[in-house]
Chains A and B, each alone.
Chain A
Amino acid sequence: MKRGHTMPYEQLEDSFSGGCSSAAGGGGCSGKGKMWEEDGGVDDELLAVLGYKVKASDMAEVAQKLEQLEEVMGSVEQDNLSFLASETVHYNPSDLSSWLESMISELNPQDPFSNSSSSFPTNQVYEDSSSFDSDLTAIPGKAVFPQIENPAHEPQVQQPQSKRFKPTTATELSSSSSSSISVGGGMWGSFQSESISTRPAESTRPVVLVDSQGNGVRLVHTLMACAEAIQQEKMKLAEALLKQIGFLAVSQAGAMRKVATYFAEALARKVYRLYPSNPNDPAFTDLLQMHFYETCPYLKFAHFTANQAILEAFANKNKIHVIDFSMKQGMQWPALLQALALRPGGAPTFRLTGIGPPSQDNTDHLQQVGWKLAQLAESINVEFEFRGFVANTLADLDASMFDIREGETVAVNSMFELHQLLARPGGIEKVLSFVKDLKPEIFTIVEQEANHNGPVFMDRFTESLHYYSTLFDSLEGCGSGGELGPVSDQDKLMSEVYLGRQICNLVSCEGVDRVERHETLAQWRTRFNSAGFEPVHLGSNAFKQASMLLALFAGGGGYKVEENNGCLMLGWHTRPLIATSAWKLSS
C-alpha cells in the first residue's frame, strides 16, 4: 500500500492495460511505437504516447478535473487514504476523463479552486488557480505555435501532465535558488530522470516524452514565448512556461537539451530576480576557460591568428612590447615566443605587459603567470620582460601607465574583452583613445561574432539562442575520443559551464552587470573606423595556419575558416562564431 503522491500513479500502473512497462517510475513506454495514434485525428499525441486517450477537445476539462483531483487528494491526505488502495473499484484510466470523474466522485469533491498562496519560494503544490487559468488562455497562439490550428490546446497538454506528476505532498524547495544554479553544469546529467533544479522540486519520476521533431520545435517556441512573456512583464505566464520548458528539455538529448537548460535557468533567474550574488570569481573563470581552451579550437584559433598578425607586423623590429588586455593564464604567448625564437634574423627583445582583474585571494596571479612565461623564454633564449597591471576595468587605464620606451614597437591584444566595456557608457571610447595614444603598430581583436547587445530583450534572446545552440553543437563533436574517457567528459562539462555563465549573464542581467555584450564584426568595424583605426589584412599565412589547426581537431569537418575583408572568422558549418581582426592607426 503506497500513500500520498505515488498513489494515483501506482493505481494507473496496476490497472493499466496499455502495455507500459511496469518498472517503477514507469519510464518504459518505448514500446509504444504507435505514437501518433490519431483515431479521428483528435487524440492528443503526447498523452497517447503514455497510453491515455484524451480527445484534444476535452483537454480543458480533463485538466480541470485533474486539478480537482489533486486538491481533493491533498486535502484528504491527512486522513487515511488507504481505502483507495484496497476498496476502490478501478476504472480504466486510459480514458482519463471518466476515470477522473469516478475518482473525484468517490473522494467527495470539495471546492476545487481554493486559493493557496503561491508566493515564491514557499510554493505549495497547487498553483493558485488564477495562474492555471491564465495558462490555458493567455499563451498567444502565434508566439508559440504559429501554424497549428488549435493553439490553445497544445499548451494544455503540458499543464495536465505537469499537474499529474507533481507530488501531492508539500514540496521541499530543493534550494532552487543560488546553490544549485552555481554548479549549473553538474546538475544536468545525461539521463532523463533528473529532477529540475531551477524551481520547486518536481517529481523525479521520469516523464517519458518520446523525443520527436515536434518536441524540439516546441521547446524552442516555448523558450521564446517565455522570453516574450518576460519582456512584457507577465511573470506568472513566464513561470508557467518555465515549467513546460523543463519537461520539454528533459525529452531532448545532447546539445539541444543543454542549451535549453542553461537558457531556462537564465530565464528563471530573470523571472525570480535571482542574480548571482557574487561577481564571477576570476580564478574559477580562468579554470573554466582552460578547459574550454582544451576542448575546442576557438581559443586556439584566436591565439594563433592574432599571433600571426603580430608576427607579421613585427617582422623587422627588434624591440617589441605587447600589451595584453586578457592575460588570464598567458596561453597565447608561448607560441609567439617560440615563433620569435625561430625568427630568421634572430629573436627580438620581448616585453609583455599583462592586464588582469584583481584576484579574490591575495595572490599576485599576474606575476606568477609572468614568471612562468619568463622561464619559458629563458629556455628558448628570448629576452623577456614582464609587467602586470591589475585593473577592475580597462577603462581605468591610461597610456602613461605603460612606460613605453624609446624605440619600442607596440602591439595591443584583446581577446573577448572589449565587449565588456560596452556595459558602461564611455568605456569603449576611453579605451580606444588610450590605445591610440600608445601608437601601436597593430591592435589585434578577437570577439564573438554575434549581436547580443540590441536594445530589445527578445532580439537578444533569439540571437543568443541561435548562437549558443551552434556553439554547443560544435562542442558535442569535440572531446569524444573514447579512450580518454572521463577526463574529456570533464573538460567538455567545464566548457559547457563556461558557456553557460555567459548565457546566464547575457539573459538574466541588466545594466552594468550585463557584460556579455557581444557585437558583430561589422559593428566593431564601424566603431574602429570612426575612432581612427584602419584595418590590417590578416594574410594568407594566418589563413593557412588556421585551416591546418582546425583540420587537426576531431569533428574538424564542421569547423570552417572564412576570410571576410581581411578578417578571419571561425564558424561551425555555416555560422561564423568568432572573428579575428587587426587594426592600426589610420594615417
Chain B
Amino acid sequence: MGSKFFINDNQDLLIEILKRLDGRSLGVAACVCKQWCAITRDDSLWEHLCFRHVSPPPDGVRTVVLALGGYRRLYMVCVRPVLNRLRKWKPIGMESASDSEVGRRVYWTRHEVELSLSLFCVDYYERVLLGGGGGGGGGGRHGDAACTSSLMFLCNAVNV
C-alpha cells in the first residue's frame, strides 16, 4: 500500500532542501505555512546561505554575527545587497572574465565577506547604540529588511 509522503512530517529533509535555496526563495518559503515560517527563521539556515560558498567559513564569525544581530539580518542588510550590486562589478583580477561568468558567480571573495561584516557592524552600532541611526529618523524604511541610516545606500536603486 502506498503511503503519502508529506514533507512537513520530515523536518530534517525539509531543512536539507531549504538549505539549498537562495535567499529570495527562502523568503517565499517562509510564507507557505507556520511550520515553514518557523523553520526558515532559524538562523542556521541563513548562516548556511551566507557562507556556503565561502570555504572554509571564517573562524569565530558566528559569535560576532550573532552578537550583531544574526545571520538572517546579515543576509538581508548586507550580504544580499552586496552580492546583488557586486554581481555585475568585476573585482580586480577578474576583468578578463566574461559577463556570463561573472553573472553566475555565487561565491564571494574574502574581501566581500570582510566588507559585509564591517558594514554589518556599523549597522549594529548605529542601530543599537546610536539609537536608530544618528538623527536619520525612522519613517519610510522598508519593513523587515530594515535599512538603517548609514546603510541606506544599499537600499537605493542602482543604475548598474
Contacting residues, chain A, for B1 (C-beta < 8 A): none
Contact B115 A549 (CB under 8 A): yes
| B86: contacting residue among A307, A330, A484, A552, CB under 8 A | A552
B134: Cβ under 8 A from any A Cβ: yes
- Would you give the shortest CB distance from B104 to chain A, in whole angstroms? 18
| A554: contacting residue among B114, B119, B140, B153, CB under 8 A | B153
B139: Cβ under 8 A from any A Cβ: yes
B129: Cβ under 8 A from any A Cβ: yes
Contact B134 A329 (CB under 8 A): yes
Q: Binary interface profile of A, 478-495, with partner B (CB < 8 Å = 1, else 0)?
A: 111111111110110010
- Would you give the shortest CB distance from A15 to chain B, in whole angstroms? 49
Q: Binary interface profile of B, 133-160, with partner A (CB < 8 Å = 1, else 0)?
A: 1111101111000000110111111110
Contacting residues, chain B, for A380 (C-beta < 8 A): 63-64, 67-68, 121
Contact B92 A544 (CB under 8 A): yes
A-B contacts counted at CB < 8 A amount to 151
Contacting residues, chain B, for A294 (C-beta < 8 A): 133-134, 136, 149-150, 152-153
Contacting residues, chain A, for B115 (C-beta < 8 A): 545, 548-549
Contacting residues, chain A, for B154 (C-beta < 8 A): 552
Contact B136 A291 (CB under 8 A): yes
Distance, CA A490 to CA B140, complexed state (A): 12
From B85, B117, B134, B159, residue with most partner A Cβ within 10 Å: B134
| Range class of the A interface residue count | 35 or more
CB within 8 Å of B: which A539-562 residues: 540-541, 543-545, 547-549, 551-557
B82: Cβ under 8 A from any A Cβ: yes
Distance, CA A556 to CA B89, complexed state (A): 11
Q: Binary interface profile of B, 9-46, with partner A (CB < 8 Å = 1, else 0)?
A: 00000000000000000000000000000000000000
Distance, CA A323 to CA B81, complexed state (A): 33
- Would you give the shortest CB distance from A257 to chain B, in whole angstroms? 23
| A376: contacting residue among B85, B118, B129, CB under 8 A | B129
| B134: contacting residue among A290, A541, A554, CB under 8 A | A290
CB within 8 Å of A: which B65-115 residues: 67-68, 81-82, 85-86, 89, 91-92, 111-112, 114-115
Contacting residues, chain A, for B51 (C-beta < 8 A): none
- Whose C-beta in chain B lies nearest to the C-beta of A481? B156
| Range class of the B interface residue count | 35 or more
- Would you give the shortest CB distance from B27 to chain A, in whole angstroms? 18
Contacting residues, chain B, for A491 (C-beta < 8 A): 136, 149, 152
- Would you give the shortest CB distance from A211 to chain B, in whole angstroms? 24
B2: Cβ under 8 A from any A Cβ: no
Contact A552 B135 (CB under 8 A): no
- Whose C-beta in chain A lies nearest to the C-beta of B111? A544
Contacting residues, chain A, for B119 (C-beta < 8 A): 335
Distance, CA A381 to CA B125, complexed state (A): 15
Contact A552 B81 (CB under 8 A): yes
Contacting residues, chain B, for A372 (C-beta < 8 A): 125, 129-130
A337: Cβ under 8 A from any B Cβ: yes
Distance, CA A554 to CA B152, complexed state (A): 10
Contacting residues, chain B, for A485 (C-beta < 8 A): 140
- Would you give the shortest CB distance from B90 to chain A, in whole angstroms? 10
> With A482-B157, A552-B86 as given contacts, are A488 and B152 in contact (CB-CB < 8 Å)?
yes
Distance, CA A381 to CA B37, complexed state (A): 32
List 7 extra interface pairs beyond A552-B81, A552-B86, CB under 8 A. A330-B125, A342-B64, A481-B156, A484-B152, A547-B91, A547-B92, A552-B82
A to B CB contacts below 8 Å, 15 in the list: A294-B133, A338-B118, A341-B64, A342-B64, A372-B130, A483-B157, A484-B156, A487-B140, A490-B136, A494-B135, A540-B92, A543-B92, A544-B91, A545-B115, A555-B159
| Among all A-B residue pairs, the 5 with the closest Cβ atoms | A481-B156, A290-B134, A338-B121, A334-B125, A335-B118
